[in-house]
Amino acid sequence: MKTSRGSATRIVLVGRNRAGYWVALEQGGSFGGLFVNRAQALKYALFENGGHPESIIEVTREIELEIRTSL
């Protein structure tokens, strides 16, 4: 999928983690966030993927937000 600017549209997974919080996570791990409610997770996902609701996938399995750091 491409945007009008030619860059690839990012797939964002949205679901709950094991503690019950909502997670929005870019499929490749480039960005993500932890949220108290579904609405905020979806709003973040939509903003970060450039406004493409068709590229947001709500998952039923648990997903976890992993923070990667490089030293």
pTM of the model: 0.82
Pair 13, 25: CB distance under 8 Å: yes
- Each domain of the chain, given as residue ranges in start order, spans 12-58
What digits encode the pLDDT tens for the residues 35-45?
Answer: 999 999 999 99
Residue 1, pLDDT score = 44
Surface-to-core class of residue 68, CB atoms within 10 Å of its CB (0-12 exposed, 13-18 middle, 19+ buried): exposed
Within the chain, which residues score under 50 in pLDDT? 1-6
